[in-house]
Amino acid sequence: MRGLLAAGQNAEELRAQIAQFQAEFAEANTTARQNAEELRAQIAQLRGDFEQDRQRRFLRRLFGLRPRPLEDTEKTREKMRGFGTLTTDDLISLIPMVGTTLLTPLVGLIGAVMGFYYGGQTAVSAASQTAEATKQATQTASEATKTASDTAAQAASSTFAHLTNGVPRAPVIEIELPLGSCSARRSPLHPKH
């Protein structure tokens, strides 16, 4: 009986954890959908910019305009990034900050994905264990019911047989519980025995 109560309590705890995981999963899905919408908007913006750039190049070719003069690639990059005035020490201190800024969200995202994956596996495992414990409890209860009904039927037929044959002594019935934890002897006609 204690095993059934413990299994019921564990099942309630597992159900609460499953509900919590489901809520967190729904929240993560909502965030992912919002991020996807933002990315779609950025893609649309980039496509529009690309098309404008293609139109400008087409118009340059159409009207015979010369292409822009080429510059040194490294100088152009430095101008675009604003690194032209940075010293070596400034660059050395800047690189770890850029790496941290880029890597921290990526590591967090990987951790979240792994957490949801293994959390889902844990929830499924807990649910299957709960189902198995419930199945075993149901089988034990049905065996106990069958044993009790068989014993009652045996006692009734034995008592009826003794009464019809005129035997004055009452039969002794042994009841053994299916868990084997205890047994009792009693006489249906003499409750004190």
Residues whose CB is less than 8 angstroms from the CB of residue 178 and which lie 6 or more positions away in sequence, other chains included: 140, 143, 144, 147
Instruction: Estimate to the nearest angstrom the gap between the alpha carbon of 193 and the chain centroid.
Output: 57
pLDDT of residue 135: 92
Q: What is the pLDDT of residues 80-139, one digit of tens each?
A: 666 566 677 777 777 777 777 878 888 888 988 888 888 888 888 888 899 899 999 999
Which whole number is the average pLDDT over 64-69?
64
* Segments making up each domain of the chain, as ranges: 2-70+79-186
Which whole number is the average pLDDT over 145-156?
86
- Supply the mean pLDDT for the chain: 76
Q: What is the pLDDT of residues 153-186, one digit of tens each?
A: 888 887 777 677 655 555 556 666 566 444 445 5
